[in-house]
A and B are shown apart, each in its own frame.
Chain A
Amino acid sequence: MGIDQIQYIFSGLSLGSILILVALGLSIIYGLAGIINMSHGEFMMIGAYTTYCIQQLFILYLPQAWLDMAFFISLPLSFMVAGLFGLIIERLIIRHLYSRPLESLLATWGISLILIQIARNLFGDLTAVKAPAVLSGGLQIAEGLMLPYNRLFIMALTVAVFICVYFLFQKTRLGIKIRAVTQNRNMSACVGISTKKIDMITFMIGSGLAGIAGCAITLIGNVVPNMGQTYIVDSFLVVVSGGVGKLAGCVVSGLGIGIFSKIFEVNFEAVYGKALVLIFIIIFLQYRPKGLFPDKGRADE
């Protein structure tokens, strides 16, 4: 295997890990509540702006030398802030729309437009997050092969986040309840699980995960009000082709889409590469309409 191939596989894994990070929360919310959450990208944007605000606070109040810390402190904070926004929006709007996919699609799309315009009014366009010094530059593996640290960090972060989510779902009481409600809401309610509370918590966790993704993306992209729109379609692709609400499906399809996109991009132009990926997913869904890991979730009812 040549250096070029390694580079492409690395690029694919990197893109895939970003997609997984964005799609995890979306997949959980979609699987549990049947909400097609078009505003998921905006929770990402909230995470990114949290990172920006923390950075500005550091610049204003703390010594220069601490600036690199800002990003790492932002990671948990963006989870919390995005989660809180998720909670507020769930309480105000989403909870009236469970199991009504079309209305939820329109309502969350409206929320996303409102959030974008609010971000634009509050922050304007004067935003840039400076990556910490430890994460700029890259690891020189061989002549002509450099693995940028920021991308390696995002991969590691994705692995860490995934392990946490997996642990939460498999090993904790809360996770078991969430899975129970995902599988059969009425039955769960009968055995005494407060499904409303579970809905709320899940939406919060899903939004918080988007916040972490947004924070991570400040390392490679920019912070603009409509940044979420760039990722929302791709992350839906990951969710749909992976199987709704399935964590493993999310990982496999995220990495698959990442690597295939990069392979197509190398051999064709980026524009056609994207189109080819879409065509492949459409064909794939003809044969496996419920994705890689089909499951009987509420969304199937």
Chain B
Amino acid sequence: MKKILFKNLSTAYIAVFAGLTVCCSGGGKKSQEKQEIDDNAVEVGILHSLSGTMAISEVSLRDVLLMGIEEINNSGGVLGKKIVPRVVDPASDWDLFAEKAKELLTKNKVSVVFGCWTSVSRKSVLPVFEEYKGLLFYPVQYEGQECSPNIIYTGATPNQQLIPAAQYLMSKEGGEYKQFYLLGTDYVFPRTANTILRNYLLSQGIPEQHIIEEYTPFNHQDYQTIVSKIKRFAASGKACVLSTINGDSNVPFYKEFANQGLSASHCPVMAFSVAEDELRSMDTEFLAGHLAAWNYFQSIATPDNLQFVENFKNYCKTNNLPGKDARVTDDPVCWSYTGLYLWKAAVEKAGSFEVEKVIAALSDMEFQSPSGPVKMHPDNHHLAKKALIGKIRADGQFDIIWETDDIVVPEPFSEFAK
């Protein structure tokens, strides 16, 4: 045993230095890779964090974009031009997002940028895109209350994710829940989301005392008191939790939830920030049976989606990306990929790469996404799509248990947000 341990350690030690060398040489490598840009190519920017706290989520979006670009290039490119991806790393640093965006728009003069995950990074690049008349495709569900002329939002607005989830929980098949515990991490998305949810629930006749709103700091690890509060809350009637807990805090929350004897059949947790990619890294035993609301799940059983999932797994495997074919698709991955194809379709419709013409062409555009048919809103830059509710399975995938009958028209400015 001792010998094995020692061997492992020396490997780790070597890895330390290997890691250091990679870190140091990373900068030089990029400039060598600079491809010749001629008239037969068009540059697009990819602005996702590849290091820092957000890397865990954002790297998947870079991967799916590169896959989509490869697909498009193999089938003849856009308007006869090959797409050359320009990947930059804003390193989870909001100021760096703005700097890198400026660099992409002014130095590389990219035709379009796909990027950002957190709202704060989007808010940080927004003025840059407006000033330099760029075009950004933003793929993540968010709190709404924004509509920039230079951004296309392919993720969900509150009325495409939050409201349907609350509707479902109040409906007969959802369990007719009467008490709601709104629990989130303390930043802009949960705050706005919970304001919208609270006002919506009040408008549906849920009394004030049956709604509790609570926030925890980022990276909160100790959910003991909160779970015991939920327990007491649930003891007095049919209650559920609407969770906008972010990232790292989810595992300790669900573990504590199970360890204090609460279960999904007694008090389900509806999550708005837990998708397949996050579940890969969690011990799903404690999460099984709980719910999540999205507009796409990997388990959608249409031929389009099966193909998409297979392509993504193959792409990760053949390119030797971390995780290989154990990689999964999820909501942001789907909308990132859809964004790329929407842009391609719009460019072809407009017959030009000019931002203004592309945006005009996007209006009312319909597209068959891996999630099913979607349609761009005529003027608010958001995408209409179905809302889905999934139940978490022990293998980290979802059983889709409910969906809206039709695509939901996006409303970035919610009437409940005041």
Contacts and interface: CB of A to CB of B under 8 A. Distances in A.
Nearest to B219: A230
Given A8-B225, A144-B235, A88 B283 contact: no
A224 B248 contact: yes
Contacts of A130: 283, 285
A184 interface: no
A11 B283 contact: no
Given A88-B13, A122-B15, A144 B231 contact: yes
Given A124-B322, A136-B259, A118 B15 contact: yes
B379 interface: no
Contacts of A157: none
A269 B216 CA distance: 7
A10 B224 CA distance: 9
A162 B54 CA distance: 36
Interface string A182-207: 00000000000000000000000000
B81 interface: no
A4 B20 contact: no
A266 B226 CA distance: 8
B224 A262 contact: yes
A249 B289 CA distance: 44
Given A4-B228, A11-B225, A81-B5, A138 B259 contact: yes
B306 interface: no
Given A220-B221, A270-B220, A117 B23 contact: yes
B215 A271 contact: yes
B224 to A, nearest CB: 4
B27 interface: no
Contacts of B323: 124, 126
B373 interface: no
A283 interface: no
Given A126-B323, A271-B186, A221 B251 contact: yes
A271 to B, nearest CB: 5
Given A117-B23, A148-B259, A126 B280 contact: yes
A123 to B, nearest CB: 9
B378 interface: no
Nearest to B327: A126
B174 interface: no
A213 interface: no
A144 to B, nearest CB: 7
Nearest to B259: A148
Interface residues on A, range: 35 or more
B186 to A, nearest CB: 5
A125 B281 contact: yes
Contacts of B56: 120, 125, 224
B281 A120 contact: no
B188 interface: no
A221 B252 contact: yes
Contacts of A262: 224-225
A170 interface: no
A270 B216 contact: yes
Nearest to A7: B228
B279 to A, nearest CB: 10
A103 B221 CA distance: 30
Contact of A138 (B23, B222, B261, B283): B261
Contacts of A26: none
A229 B52 CA distance: 12
Contacts of A126: 280-281, 322-323, 326
A266 B224 CA distance: 10
Nearest to B214: A269
Nearest to B284: A128
Contacts of B12: 122
A265 interface: yes
B307 interface: no
Interface string A62-81: 00000000000000010011
Given A11-B224, A138-B259, A227-B248, A128 B215 contact: no
Interface string A41-81: 00000000000010000000000000000000000010011
Nearest to B258: A136
B9 A81 contact: yes
A265 B282 contact: no
B326 A271 contact: no
A146 B261 contact: yes
B211 interface: no
Given A136-B259, A271-B215, A144 B232 contact: yes
A253 interface: no
Contacts of A7: 224-225, 228
A10 B220 CA distance: 18
Given A125-B56, A125-B280, A77 B5 contact: yes
Interface string B228-247: 11011001000000000000
Contacts of B235: 144
Nearest 5 CB-CB pairs, A to B?
A: A222-B251, A148-B259, A11-B224, A128-B283, A124-B322
Given A140-B261, A146-B261, 4 more contacts: A4-B232, A114-B19, A221-B252, A229-B219
Interface of A: 4, 7-8, 10-11, 14-15, 18, 53, 77, 80-81, 84, 88, 114, 117-118, 120-122, 124-131, 136-138, 140, 144, 146, 148-151, 217, 220-222, 224, 226-227, 229-231, 261-262, 265-266, 269-271, 274
